[in-house]
Structure 1
Amino acid sequence: MNLTFLNKKITGILTVVPKNEVKFEDEAANYNFPIEKSIRLKKIMGYNKHRIVDEETCVSDLCVYGLEHLIESKLLNKDEIDALILITQTPDYFLPPTSNIIQGRLGLKQDMICMDVNQGCAGFLLGLIQAFMLLEQDSIKKVVLLNADVLSRKTSSKDRNSYPIVGDAASVTVVEKGDNNTPIFGNIKMDGSRGDTLIIPAGGLRMPSTPETSKLEDTGDGNLRSKENLTMDGASVFNFVQTEIPPMVNDLLEFSNVKKEEVDYFMFHQPNKFMLEKLADRMEIPYKKMPNNIVANFGNSSSVSIPTNITFNLGKNMQEESYKLCLAGFGSGLTWSSMLIEVGNLGFCDIIEY
């Protein structure tokens, strides 16, 4: 599905990461593998360290902290927020919506829209699409897009497939009406038939939590996880990314009539260094134009990885320069999406610690 938007712009991006930083070597003994083999895996995949929350911290805590920072710094006027979109797969509760909790904690106005969206690694793109559509309304002038997950709390610390890469974080992206006619091009695809490729089997109403679902077990790959933990079919995810993402991005460039060489940066979701290097090779994109260093420094924070990619690798330059960016997210759902957008001259583009 191809999409086009006009007169919309991103005016600020903030990433919030936990202060707690854990190195791969400090956790290697937790895994049911010889440490030497784990260290070899670290080098191949680009593992190094990740940021994880404590067992009390929730999505709303990270989001409120980021928003309060912007409000207190006078970078965001809370009375001007007309819509709050939260993309998360780890909400505070089944109900009420976590976006409403955030609105209440901040004392935002009642004349606004609060919306939770259950999406993962493609969630930044899906959130931007939703924000652009809301901005078509005359009464909505400023949308705050929140992406946040604390997936470390739903991932087994004895699962070497997933735990070393998972990172917790939140991002605040301000999206507003613009007066620039430069179009924003996007596309999106979904395939629910492959939904079990990335899944937390238990804990919902299909398979409620029980003492049995919380027991750690070896599911045949040497890792220990329970049915209440994130389960990832690594080989299927790798094949999905290598097969589906190149044609999606090529279709986007053809749809937008933009040549690959005209794109300044390909700011993609960050699964791991190995997968991104293989993807860059397949797409014939120089590594310097497709950064792959987020997992090594912060971990894979699901839908927050693209904003983190931007704030970490471009940072203050985004406040003074403008770049033609190709964004791409891909993951649970399965969902994959890409977008071609001019971003720059931002009011803020920072990373802060919670």
Structure 2
Amino acid sequence: MARWKIKNVGMKGVAMAVPKNVVKTSDFDFFSQEEAEVFDNAVGIKSRHIAPDSMCASDMCQAAAEKLIEELGWERDSIDVLLFESVTGDYRTPPTSCILQDRLALSENCFCMDIPMGCCGCMYAITVAGNLLTTGNVRRALLLIGDTALRMGSMKDKSRVPLFGDCGTAVALEYDETANDIVVDFHTYGKGYEALMTPHGGFRHPANPTSFEYEDFGNGIVRAPIHTLINGMNVFSFAISRPPKSIESFLADYNLDRNVDIDYFLIHQANKMIVDRIVKKLKFPQEKVPYNLEEFGNLGGASIPSLMVSRIREQLMTKEVTLLMSSFGLGLSWGTMWVKTRLMVIPEVILM
């Protein structure tokens, strides 16, 4: 079973950076005003921050990291681990984490690693870094999580374009013998990988002239094989079935009362229909489930850290908070994580 109890690791801070450019649903030329209103109400995503072509996920993550390091008062030489979680790295090679080690002026002794796990990325990064830190051999880790997901798809694909926003986040972990355990549970359904994928551009199907030829699939879906696709019905069915079952098992296995033992349920902000269905299925108290998709859209792996910064910042900065996190996406993969935080350092949202 892919389940860990990570000891001696505390979450010390979170930061978030987004582009200044905001695009409302009604701004997309493939929507009429009426269609935009229907989308806003049903999907729940009313605006999203979109990066210019000159801005990469690494740029936003770097801005978040710089601010977080400053407010934590960490010496840069004290950061032993740097993870970059993204599906939109600067290059195919080298790893973007290595580039960020230099840009952040971290020690040459820093362990660097890229993790391209999409919507579950934050929890994967915490799990990898947490297991590196738990023995005390290394003591501080910086997790940079973000994407410029919009440009991965076709701007003519009505089924995908309005769902995503761009964002970069930074999460600071530290070896701390007094910290509460972090408990994480992961699952993978590789048979469903085609529901979320980019068909061409890898080594299975290298990019060639046909990779850029657009095809009209009807219903406003026009894309080429080089673009990322979403099989909406398959993803919806997966998201409202497998993750809730895992959360129920997790709660039962650790004897957690959803009404008493958890302050907030942080659910990956895929879209309102999915989150609402999960909340209803699991009977979560609505007041304990923050949403930010109406303002930022689906931020992929940055979704959960963005909730921490944009919706429960004051609570996390001033008291102990118990969180249950749920993410699901590429792979298909999904996971549940339980964290009890101490007072955290959380700068306000950074606009770039």
Please tell me the TM-score bracket, short chain as reference.
over 0.9
Q: Distance in 2 between matches of 1:224 and 1:52?
A: 20
Aligned pairs for 1:166-185 within 5 A: 166-180=164-178, 182-185=180-183
Q: Judge conservation of contact 2:266–2:323 (CA < 8 Å) in 1.
A: yes
Aligned pairs for 1:78-117 within 5 A: 78-117=76-115
Q: CA deviation at 1:72?
A: 4.5
Stretches of 4+ aligned residues off by more than 6 angstroms: none
Aligned to 1:315: 313
Q: Residue by residue, what CA displacement relative to the aligned partner does 1:1-20 show, whole Å, maximum 9, x if unpaired?
A: 32212221100000111111
Q: Judge conservation of contact 1:316–1:350 (CA < 8 Å) in 2.
A: no
Between stretches 60-69 and 296-305, larger displacement belongs to: 60-69
Q: Judge conservation of contact 1:75–1:348 (CA < 8 Å) in 2.
A: no
Aligned to 1:274: 273
Q: Distance in 2 between matches of 1:232 and 1:54?
A: 23
Q: CA deviation at 1:39?
A: 2.7
Q: CA deviation at 1:137?
A: 4.2
Q: CA deviation at 1:286?
A: 2.3
Q: CA deviation at 1:232?
A: 0.3
Query: Which amino acid is the alignment partner of residue 272 of structure 1?
Result: N
* Cα distance, 1:5–1:70 mapped onto 2, change above 3 Å: closer
Q: Judge conservation of contact 2:72–2:345 (CA < 8 Å) in 1.
A: no
Q: Distance in 2 between matches of 1:169 and 1:188?
A: 24
Aligned to 1:300: 298
Q: CA deviation at 1:258?
A: 1.4
Q: Distance in 1 between matches of 2:346 and 2:38?
A: 39
Q: Distance in 2 between matches of 1:8 and 1:50?
A: 33
SS, match of residue 213 in structure 1: helix
Identical-pair percentage:
29
Q: Judge conservation of contact 1:200–1:231 (CA < 8 Å) in 2.
A: yes
Q: CA deviation at 1:318?
A: 1.1
Unaligned regions of 5+ residues in structure 2, if any? none
Q: Distance in 1 between matches of 2:229 and 2:33?
A: 22
Aligned to 2:330: 332
Residue among 193, 196, 199 paired with 1:198: 196
Query: Which amino acid is the alignment partner of residue 178 of structure 2?
Result: N
Unaligned regions of 5+ residues in structure 1, if any? none
Aligned to 2:147: 149
Q: Residue by residue, what CA displacement relative to the aligned partner does 1:49-82 show, whole Å, maximum 9, x if unpaired?
A: 0011111211221122222223445643211110
Q: CA deviation at 1:211?
A: 2.8
Q: Residue by residue, what CA displacement relative to the aligned partner does 1:253-293 show, whole Å, maximum 9, x if unpaired?
A: 1222211112111011100112111111111112221123x
Q: Residue by residue, what CA displacement relative to the aligned partner does 1:178-230 show, whole Å, maximum 9, x if unpaired?
A: 22263222100011111111001111121222232122221244311121112
Q: Judge conservation of contact 2:199–2:227 (CA < 8 Å) in 1.
A: yes
Aligned to 1:229: 227
